[in-house]
């Protein structure tokens, strides 16, 4: 019992103190944001929860694909599937409320129904390669920065560079591909309705789950469960409260628990604004940097017609939806790392790790802007929004991650 020991010794660690202060600050900041925009205040709390969940459960989309191909372990992928299943069920209720009877071609503008085509495939594949090389996706990079990883800070620099490179070449991608690619919303495009679309989504998730189980079986991966059969300790009320606090704020969560929590938080996101995404503010600031350096002139072509993270980047003001979505994830992850006493400045042992970080980051920044979102916005939220683009992006992610694992093996 970490907290009990420290309290009894009257030697509460400094990280826990700072963590408690920042946890209180999360709610204080939310209060001040709510005075101008209640929805953004709710998203701030939801984003902070996301960061907390990511760090506490070590939830990382990059690891889910990488571990499956590199080690034959599907534990992280199962957490991802749980998250998508939970959010999909919740999203259907919200989608059907916003647009009860969608006509062919119609879809809720707030949902992550994104263009699907060559740009989606290229974006997903490049992102898959980049996240494996860098050692984490964008959300994973954010929470590892909150843990003190220098390599992840380098990755974030690469993400900005990659985003700016894509912004510079945006007109080409828009004119040749994106503007001509359809937005396929399953309930309306094929006139199958919300119920059947949800059934198809859940069946596909179940199919992927069986594939993961097959890969684990072929690789010999076994999950061991340990139990204490001889525990006879009687715990008092105070001890039980402390144990609950430890489980929630100090000890690590399982990936399945993280996936379940992520699914529910995603529903809260959508109730107050739109499905979650973590790259909106990165894209917004990359556009601002590009304009200040005269790399671009004015708004990007067609940006107002897009949803997802890129569409959200046109938000005005400093405390915007994208700001609270991105910064909130970092803040929540920092709180979690401090309460778990896992914050520590960590530098790579090998110099080549810096090269991997920045190159992987550039690929992710470029492809996240092209795909109008990363693993959260263009994959997780898009699949849950019943958009075909999410599945195409996800399959492309898998291909890219597979290529990325081959590159990792080659460079050692």
Give residue-wise pLDDT tens across range 171-214.
999 999 999 999 999 999 877 899 999 999 999 999 999 999 99
237/115 Cα distance (integer angstroms)? 55
Does residue 239 lie in a domain region? no
Residue 208's nearest CA partner among 67, 84, 378, 386 is 84
> In this predicted structure, what is the pLDDT of residue 410?
85
- What is the SS3 assignment for 66-111? HHHHHCCCCHHHHHHHHHHHHHHHHHHHHHHHHCCCCCCCCCCCCC
Query: How many domains is the chain built from?
Result: 1
Does residue 88 lie in a domain region? yes
Q: Exposed, middle or buried: residue 113 (CB in 10 Å: 0-12, 13-18, 19+)?
A: buried
> In this predicted structure, what is the pLDDT of residue 8?
35
Both tokens assigned to 218: 């072929």
Does residue 130 lie in a domain region? yes
Radius of gyration of the chain (CA): 21
User: Per-residue confidence of the chain (412 residues) as pLDDT tens digits?
Assistant: 333 334 333 445 899 999 999 999 999 999 999 999 999 999 999 999 999 999 999 888 888 999 999 888 889 999 999 999 999 999 999 999 999 988 888 888 889 999 999 999 999 999 999 999 999 999 999 999 999 999 999 999 999 999 999 999 999 999 999 999 999 999 998 778 999 999 999 999 999 999 999 999 888 766 554 445 555 456 677 777 888 778 777 788 999 999 999 999 999 999 998 899 999 899 999 999 999 999 988 788 888 888 777 766 666 667 888 899 999 999 999 999 999 999 999 999 888 999 999 999 999 999 999 999 999 999 999 999 999 999 999 999 999 999 999 999 888 6
Give residue 328's domain range.
Answer: 2-217+247-411
Asked if residues 91 and 327 have their Cβ atoms less than 8 Å apart, the reply is no
Give residue-wise pLDDT tens across range 57-108.
988 888 899 999 988 888 999 999 999 999 999 999 999 999 998 888 888 8
358/104 Cα distance (integer angstroms)? 43
54/38 Cα distance (integer angstroms)? 24
Does residue 225 lie in a domain region? no
Does residue 226 lie in a domain region? no
Cα 116 versus chain centre, distance: 20
Does residue 278 lie in a domain region? yes
Does residue 223 lie in a domain region? no
Does residue 237 lie in a domain region? no
Q: How far is CA 120 from CA 1, 158, 394, in A?
A: 48, 21, 9
Asked if residues 386 and 186 have their Cβ atoms less than 8 Å apart, the reply is yes
């Amino acid at each position: 019992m970490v907290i009990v020991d420290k309290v009894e010794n009257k030697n509460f660690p400094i990280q826990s103190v700072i963590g408690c202060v920042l946890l209180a600050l999360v709610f204080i900041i939310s209060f001040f944001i709510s005075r101008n925009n209640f929805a953004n205040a709710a998203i701030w709390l939801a984003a902070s929860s996301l960061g907390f969940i990511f760090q506490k459960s070590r939830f990382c989309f990059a690891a889910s694909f990488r571990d499956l191909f590199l080690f034959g372990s599907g534990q992280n992928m199962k957490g991802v599937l749980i998250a998508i299943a939970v959010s999909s069920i919740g999203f259907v209720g919200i989608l059907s409320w916003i647009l009860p009877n969608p006509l062919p071609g119609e879809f809720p503008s707030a949902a992550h129904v994104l263009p699907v085509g060559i740009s989606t495939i290229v974006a997903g594949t490049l992102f898959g390669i980049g996240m494996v090389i860098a050692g984490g996706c964008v959300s994973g990079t954010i929470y590892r920065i909150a843990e003190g990883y220098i390599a992840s800070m380098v990755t974030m620099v690469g993400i900005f560079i990659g985003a700016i490179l894509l912004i510079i070449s945006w007109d080409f991608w828009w004119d040749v591909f994106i503007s001509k690619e359809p937005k396929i919303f399953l309930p309306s495009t094929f006139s199958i309705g919300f119920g059947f679309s949800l059934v198809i989504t859940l069946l596909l998730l179940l199919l992927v789950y069986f594939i993961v189980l097959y890969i684990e079986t072929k690789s010999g991966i076994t999950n061991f469960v340990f139990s204490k059969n001889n525990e006879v300790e009687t715990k008092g009320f105070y001890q039980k409260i402390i144990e609950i606090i430890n489980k929630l704020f100090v000890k690590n969560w399982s990936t399945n628990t993280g996936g379940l929590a992520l699914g529910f938080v995603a529903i809260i996101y959508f109730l107050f604004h739109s499905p979650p995404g973590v790259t909106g503010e990165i894209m917004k600031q990359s556009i601002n940097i590009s304009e200040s350096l005269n790399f671009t002139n004015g708004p990007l072509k067609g940006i107002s017609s897009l949803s997802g993270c890129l569409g959200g980047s046109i938000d005005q003001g400093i405390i915007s939806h994208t700001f609270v979505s991105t910064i909130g994830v970092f803040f929540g992850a920092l709180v979690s790392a401090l309460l778990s006493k896992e914050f520590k400045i960590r530098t790579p042992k090998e110099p080549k790790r810096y090269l991997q970080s920045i190159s992987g980051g550039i690929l992710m920044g470029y492809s996240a802007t092209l795909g109008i979102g990363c693993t959260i916005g263009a994959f997780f939220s898009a699949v849950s929004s019943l958009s075909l683009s999410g599945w195409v992006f996800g399959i492309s992610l898998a291909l890219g991650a597979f290529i990325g694992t081959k590159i990792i093996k080659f460079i050692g």
